[in-house]
Amino acid sequence: MTLPRLQLSVIGDEIGPSLDEMISFAHEHGLKCLDMRTVGGRNLLSMKTEEVIHISRTLEKAGITVPAFVSPAFKWKAPGKWTGAGRKVDFAFDPKECPVEDWVAHAMQIAVILGAPHMRIFSYLRYGGFRPADLGKLTDHLTKLLGLAGHYDITLQLENEPVCNVGNIAELAAFFVADEKASKEATPDEEEEFEQDNQPKLRYLRPLVDIANAWSTGERPSDGDIAVLAPFTTAIHLKDRDLSANRTVPLGDGDVPWPAELKRLLSGVETKEVLASIETHCPQDGRNATARSLAGLRRIAAEIGVEVV
């Protein structure tokens, strides 16, 4: 069986905070793609359109494309829900920091300016009693995002993030099982609301599978949950964990059995290519750790017979 190839990308700010650092690293390592999240410590969702245009043009001149806008959408408290206190949230964001009131339209505009076919989203910071339908029912923001995603042909990628309601692989699988069931039970009017060019709603809402995030919570993803997610998967995040030290390490240096996990997931993927984004999460030595992660991915891919492009 031929496994899908991996489109290699790196989340730019994992290398360093400045655009110059990101570009120089990409050129040094022959990278053609960078996912964009923050520049200069500022999330792109907090920037004005003119700033994003400048970033996009700079990357284009450097010969770099942007496969994904790594947005912080829904990585904040759900309206009317208590989330507890004291938890650390990496790259936390307050939608009030957006320079315009309509953060949904601004987020999609950023993805369009970057030329990014993917945009990451979350599931609100964790609270008791969450149900998959909440993401679309607490506000109309997801409905608006899906409408814009269909219009611009940009896929929304829902990541399993431990501080959020969809925090592990089991919860991610449960979300998509519920979402698929809701799609099948939708009335004709509801179906029309989510369909663009005869493509179903699920075409524009997909799982962003982060296996290391799952392992960091103590979860060992089941074959059943991976089987649920794999057919919908078009993008993954890659990092590794030293479980005894409870810290993130370069890909291939930790305890996640990546050859087996990657092969298991890719075996059920239905597309010919998957966006594989390295999210190093080693800020103390970002540039070197990311270089080691690139080498680790290429080594793992070669071991299981997967092409990296």
Confidence of residue 38 (pLDDT cuts 50, 70, 90): very high
- All structural domains of the chain with their residue ranges: 5-304
CB–CB of 29/91 below 8 Å?
A: no
For the segment 240-269, the average pLDDT, to the nearest whole number, is 97
CA pair distance 122, 134, nearest whole angstrom? 12
Query: Could you tell me which CATH class the domain 5-304 is placed in?
Result: alpha beta
CA pair distance 250, 112, nearest whole angstrom? 31
pTM, whole model, 2 decimals? 0.92
Lowest mean pLDDT segment, chosen from 20-29, 31-40, 77-86, 238-247: 77-86
Confidence of residue 197 (pLDDT cuts 50, 70, 90): very low
3-state secondary structure of 203: helix
CA pair distance 95, 72, nearest whole angstrom? 9
Confidence of residue 187 (pLDDT cuts 50, 70, 90): low
* Predicted pLDDT at 195: 47
